[in-house]
A = this chain, B = another copy of it.
Amino acid sequence: MLPPKSDFSEWYHEVIQQAQIMDIRYPVKGLYVWFPFGFKLRNLVYGKLRDIMDREHDEVYFPALIPETELGKEGEHIKGFEDEVYWITHGGLDELDVKLALRPTSETAMYPMFKLWIRSHADLPLRIYQIVNVFRYETKHTRPLIRLREITSFKEAHTAHRSYEEAEENVKMAINAYKEFFDSLAIPYFIIKRPEWDKFPGADYTIAFDTIMPDGKTLQIGTVHNLADNFARTFDLKYETPEGDQAYVYQTCYGISERCVASVISIHGDDTGLILPFRLAPYQTVIIPILYKGKEREVLDLSNEVFNRLKEFGLRAILDDSDERPGAKYYKWELFGVPLRIEIGPKEAESREAVISFRDERVKRKISIEEITEEKITEWADEMHERLRKRALDSMLEKVRFFDKVDEMEEWMGRGVALFYLCQSLECGKSVEEDVKAGVLGEVVEMPEEIGIDKEGKCTVCGKSGKLNAIAKSY
């Protein structure tokens, strides 16, 4: 049994283990083992991400080890990461001449190679991505998929362009790609420009995707950085312009980690386990034959017929004809979030019908077997997706509140996101953070239209003209 989801922290801890996403018992803090079922889900989610990235990017693979000399080149970058880099000092029994860092992210592995790859304007734009393991020495409380020492599935894209404007265009493209991706997970989000003091180390600015977890804390699920020519100047990345001059390239990078899987689990799940969007579920449909003595044959025959038909449609279907009681089977497949359950008993076998129910609705409905067509399944999948999207959005909206006074915001922290107006000054931003005891997420660039609040207004602190900002406790 799971704890109720209202006790989110416990529920998450348990559902990750019981629904066989990750085994949390690996003997090192912050490292976890992907179970077969979890890894299937991971592959389906990242398959979608890969499809989207492949349109505009080439997939590559860069080494996991970065020499200290390269990692240290960009001053702000290394300052941002020095507390969380793992250092390899020995190979076998020898001490290494140059220490190697386990990549925390791959700017400093990639950009020395970009210098070799980029010669002229014809080589631009350059757009690549990789899905790799990266490492962070986390000293805070670690959590599977959310805060780890080995992020096993970091999708990082890196680009180079001719001008700041082209880099800006690419930021927009990346944001649209991420919107499409999170929409495919039915995960709602804010798109927020991080404040100056919280941008990616070495970036010109950082745009983040934030969603709200069931406990009201936000989860940053994606980031897009405009690096301007900051790294280009450090790594001497120049290209020959059409006019024959040498100019620095402008860069962007953007990343998504397995937090995307965490968001699916956390936001869609319920007291009985996972609820997975149809197209991402490792098992999309389970057929459960209800067996009574003497009628087994007919029931199993029809179950197999339906099973084979679903297979023909290319669906990931299972026929659970194990010896367990139906109740135990319901329990199990609900825990694993199987979107569509099809039950067939003796009555149904006789009338060529089936009882269907969707994981999110749990309402049983009798249909004729002939109704189970490829088109119908697509329709059901779309309808379920829309229900999940709507439910997740409603739940998020409940956790968003607008404030026009700073002193009312603290109480809301831990329950959701507070929206308020803020000017650009560091002073006002820092004073809000101190008063509210939470971190300013930044300026809201895009939000669900249902929120319906103007993006401009008077700074809640100083009264000067400001922008709509968000503040919350975050993972």
A contact residues vs B (CB 8 Å cutoff)? 23, 25-28, 31-36, 39-40, 42-43, 58-65, 67, 69-70, 82-94, 100, 102, 109, 112-113, 116-117, 128, 132-133, 135, 137, 139, 149-150, 152
Main secondary structure of the interface of A (DSSP, over half): mixed
**B-chain residues with CB within 8 Å of residue A36 when the two chains form the complex:** 58-60, 128
- Pairwise interchain contact A113-B61, C-beta atoms closer than 8 A: no
Looking at the assembled complex, report how far the CB atom of A472 sits from the nearest CB atom of chain B, in whole angstroms.
Answer: 27
**A93 near B100 (CB under 8 angstroms)?**
no
Chain B residues in 8 Å Cβ range of A117? 23
**Residues of chain B lying within 8 A (CB to CB) of residue A85:** 91-92
* Contact (A61, B39) CB under 8 Å given A23-B116, A33-B113, A93-B82: yes
A67 nearest CB neighbor, chain B only: B28
Residue from the list B39, B65, B109, B113 in contact with A60, Cβ < 8 A: B39
Determine how close the nearest CB of chain B comes to the CB of A207; give it in whole angstroms: 26
30 contacts between A and B (CB under 8 A): A23-B116, A23-B117, A25-B113, A25-B116, A26-B63, A26-B109, A27-B69, A27-B70, A28-B65, A28-B67, A31-B65, A32-B63, A34-B60, A36-B59, A36-B60, A36-B128, A39-B59, A39-B60, A40-B59, A42-B61, A43-B59, A65-B135, A65-B149, A82-B92, A86-B90, A87-B88, A87-B89, A89-B90, A94-B137, A102-B102
- What is the bound-complex CA distance between A153 and B147, given in angstroms? 25
Contact of A27 among B27, B67, B86, B149 (CB under 8 A): B67
A26 to B42, CA, bound (A): 30
Q: Which residues of B contact A43 (CB under 8 A)?
A: 59
Given contacts A36-B128, A58-B36, A92-B84, whether A23 and B113 have CB atoms under 8 Å apart is yes
Tell whether, in the assembled complex, residue A87 and residue B90 are in contact, meaning their CB atoms are under 8 Å apart. yes
Residues of B contacting A113 with CB < 8 Å?
23, 25-26, 33
Chain B residues whose C-beta falls within 8 Å of the C-beta of A152 in the assembled complex:
61, 63
Taking a contact as CB atoms under 8 Å apart, the answer to whether B86 and A100 are in contact is yes
Residue from A61, A86, A117 whose CB has the most chain B CB atoms within 10 Å: A61
9 residue pairs, one from A and one from B, having the closest CB atoms? A91-B137, A36-B58, A34-B61, A31-B63, A83-B92, A87-B90, A89-B89, A86-B88, A92-B137
Shortest Cβ gap from A261 to chain B (Å): 12
Of residues A84, A90, A112, A149, which shows the largest number of chain B Cβ atoms within 10 Å of its Cβ? A90
Please report the C-alpha to C-alpha distance between residue A63 and residue B24 in the assembled complex, in whole angstroms: 11
Other-chain contact of A91, B61, B86, B90 (Cβ < 8 Å): B86
Evaluate contact between B89 and A83: CB separation under 8 angstroms: no
In the bound complex, residues from chain B placing their C-beta under 8 Å from that of A91 are 84-87, 137, 139
A119 to chain B, nearest CB (A): 14
Q: How far is the CB of A158 from chain B (nearest CB, A)?
A: 12
Contact B93–A83 (Cβ < 8 Å): yes
Chain B neighbourhood of A25, CB < 8 A? 113, 116
A92 smallest CB distance to B (angstroms): 4
Residue of B nearest to A81 (CB): B92
Q: How far is the CB of A255 from chain B (nearest CB, A)?
A: 18
* Residues in B neighbouring A87, C-beta threshold 8 A: 88-91
Instruction: Determine the chain B residues whose CB is within 8 A of the CB of A23 once the complex forms.
Output: 113, 116-117
Q: Which of A28, A100, A135, A150 has the most CB of B within 10 A?
A: A28
CA gap between A149 and B67 in the complex, in Å: 13
- The answer for the CA separation of A117 and B112 in the assembled complex, in Å, is 44
- The smallest C-beta distance from A149 to any residue of chain B, in angstroms, reads 7
Q: How far is the CA of A64 from the CA of B137 in the complex (A)?
A: 14
How far, in angstroms, from A135 to B59 measured CA to CA in the complex?
Answer: 22
CA distance A329 to B36 in the complex (A): 45
